[in-house]
Amino acid sequence: MATIPVGRDPGSVAVDPNNNRIYVVNRLDNSISVIDGLTNTEIDTDNDAGNGVTRLSFGGAWAVAVNPTTNRIYATGGSITLRVIDGASYSTVADVSIVSGLAPGSLAVNPATNRIYVTTGNGAIVVVDGLSDQVIANVAVGGGTYGGLAVDPIRNRAYRGSGSNVFVMDGATNTPIDTDGSPANGITPITVPVLSDIGGIAVNQDINRLYVALGQNGNIAVIDGSTYTVSQILSSGGNPVDVAVDKANEKIYIARKSGNQVVAVEASTNTSVGGMVTGATPQAVAANEGSNRVYVANAGSTTLSVLNGTYLNHLPLQSSGFRRIDGTGPVDVHVRPGDYEDMRVFVKMPFAVPDGCADASWNVSLVWTVRIHAS
Ligand SMILES: [Ca+2]
Ligand SMILES: [Ca+2]
C-alpha cells in the first residue's frame, strides 16, 4: 500500500489503534518517527514546518510501546532510562531510571493495569506504574540475553523470552510463575524444544495463546497459556525475528528477516494464508486491528512498509510478491473498496511477440480481458 521513509535501523514499531498512530524507533538515528496511519505520512512533532519533519529525539532509543488508553508513548533508551512521552503534545513527561548500568531491552504495556514492563540484561522485568511514573518492582524472573516481551492483559501475565526459554511473571503479585508447578526444581520457565534465539513474542489473550519467533531456528512456537506448554511448532523459515497478533481479524503476522517478507497465519488453524515482500531486512512487525493494517520496519531499506491485511491474507506468497492468476481469459478480479488501492494488473502471455518488443515474454498485441469488479 505504502512505503514510508524513516530513519536508520528501524528496529521497533508500536501501533496506537485509538489515535491511528504508528511509532518507529530509528536505532542508529537516536530518534522515533511518528506516522499518521490515515495519511501514511510522517508527523512533524514540533509542528514547525520551517525546520522540516522533526522526529522525537532520544539518545540510544531501542524499543517503543504505547498505552492507547492514556495516550502515553514509552521508549527505552540510553543506558538506564524509560522515557514517557505525551502522545498529544509529543513532550517528554518523565525519564524513569530503570537499572543503573544495564541497558534496557524489550518493552511492553498492560493498558488494563497501566503498568509498563522493561527487561534488563540480568534476567529481570522492571515494573513501572503508569500513573506515578515510578519503578514499583524489579522482578528476577530469569534468563540473560535479550528476547521479546509480551503482556496478557486479561490474565495479567508478562512473558519474557531469552534463549530457548520464556519466563512468566504474575502481574498481580509481581512474582515469577513456576510453570511446571514443582517448587523442588526451582522456578521453571516454558522451554522451547529447539535451540533458538527467541525474538519477538506476541499474545492473543482472546484464545490464551502465545506466539514466539525463534529467529535463526526458522520456526514459530505456539504456546498454550493455560498449560504453559508448546502446543505446536510452525515452520516459517527466513529467520523469523518478530511476530504480531491481530485478534480482530484472527491472524498472526511473522516478519522474516532474511526472506524480506511478512507472512500471514490463520489463528484458528495455524496455517499460512498469504504473505508479501517487504523492504530489506524486516526486523519488527505490528498490526492495527482497527484499520486492518500491518506495519513492518525494514532495517535494510530504512523504511516502514504499510500492508493491507485483507490483501495480505489472500495473496499466495511468491518470490516476486505478485499473485498469479491462471486462465484462458477473460479473468475476473474482485476488489473491495479500500482493499487494493495499490493493486496493478499485469498480463503475461506465453506467445512469441512481434519484432521490436523488448521483452519476449510479453505480447502487447494480444487482446485479453481483465475485468476488475468492485464488490
Ligand atoms: Ca519541524
Ligand atoms: Ca519448578
Ligand nearest to the CA of 34: 1
30 vs 46, 78, 146, 303, CA distance in Å? 16, 9, 20, 16
Ligand nearest to the CA of 176: 2
Distance between CA atoms of 159 and 173, rounded to whole angstroms?
Answer: 14
Asked whether residue 330 is domain-assigned, the answer is yes
Question: Which residues line ion ligand 1, judged by CB < 5 Å?
Answer: 44, 46, 48, 51, 54
Cα 217 to ligand 2 centroid, rounded to whole Å: 26
Give the predicted TM-score (pTM) of the model. 0.85
Please give the backbone phi and psi of residue 185, each rounded to the nearest 5 degrees, phi first.
Answer: -100, 20
Cα 92 to ligand 2 centroid, rounded to whole Å: 42
Q: If the chain, 375 residues long, is cut into consecutive pieces of 10 residues, what is the mean pLDDT of each piece?
A: 94 97 97 97 97 96 96 88 96 89 82 96 92 96 88 98 96 97 96 91 97 93 97 90 95 92 91 86 96 96 92 56 51 50 49 42 41 52
Q: Are residues 266 and 340 in the same domain?
A: no
Ligand nearest to the CA of 187: 2
CATH number for the domain that contains residue 248: 2.130.10.10
Asked whether residue 250 is domain-assigned, the answer is yes
Cα 188 to ligand 2 centroid, rounded to whole Å: 4
Cα 36 to ligand 1 centroid, rounded to whole Å: 15
Cα 177 to ligand 2 centroid, rounded to whole Å: 9
Asked whether residue 320 is domain-assigned, the answer is no
Cα 185 to ligand 2 centroid, rounded to whole Å: 5
Q: Are residues 240 and 125 in the same domain?
A: yes
User: In terms of DSSP bridges, do strands 271-277 and 282-288 run parallel, antiparallel, or are they unpaired?
Assistant: unpaired
* Domain span including residue 349: 325-375
Ligand nearest to the CA of 185: 2
Cα 357 to ligand 1 centroid, rounded to whole Å: 48
Asked whether residue 317 is domain-assigned, the answer is no
Would you state the pLDDT for residue 341?
44
Ligand nearest to the CA of 177: 2
Would you state the pLDDT for residue 373?
53
Q: Are residues 351 and 213 in the same domain?
A: no
Ligand nearest to the CA of 43: 1
Q: Are residues 303 and 329 in the same domain?
A: no
Cα 373 to ligand 1 centroid, rounded to whole Å: 42
Cα 53 to ligand 1 centroid, rounded to whole Å: 4
Would you state the pLDDT for residue 151?
98
Which grid coordinates are listed for 172?
Answer: 498481580
Q: Are residues 341 and 272 in the same domain?
A: no
Q: Are residues 83 and 124 in the same domain?
A: yes
Question: Which residues line ion ligand 2, judged by CB < 5 Å?
Answer: 178, 180, 182, 185, 188
Ligand nearest to the CA of 186: 2
Asked whether residue 318 is domain-assigned, the answer is no
* Angle, CA of 200, 206 and 210, to the nearest 5°: 25
User: How many domains in the chain?
Assistant: 2
Which grid coordinates are listed for 169?
Answer: 511473571
Q: Are residues 84 and 221 in the same domain?
A: yes
Would you state the pLDDT for residue 143?
86
Q: Are residues 190 and 287 in the same domain?
A: yes
Asked whether residue 197 is domain-assigned, the answer is yes
Q: Are residues 144 and 273 in the same domain?
A: yes
239 vs 56, 209, 219, CA distance in Å? 30, 21, 8
Cα 246 to ligand 2 centroid, rounded to whole Å: 32
Q: Are residues 112 and 230 in the same domain?
A: yes
Q: Are residues 361 and 297 in the same domain?
A: no
Cα 228 to ligand 2 centroid, rounded to whole Å: 12
Residue count of the chain, please give it. Answer: 375
Ligand nearest to the CA of 90: 1
Strand-pair partners of 126: 118, 138
String of DSSP letters for 43-85: --TT--GGG-PPPEE-TT--EEEEETTTTEEEEEETTTEEEEE
Q: Are residues 101 and 198 in the same domain?
A: yes
Ligand nearest to the CA of 46: 1
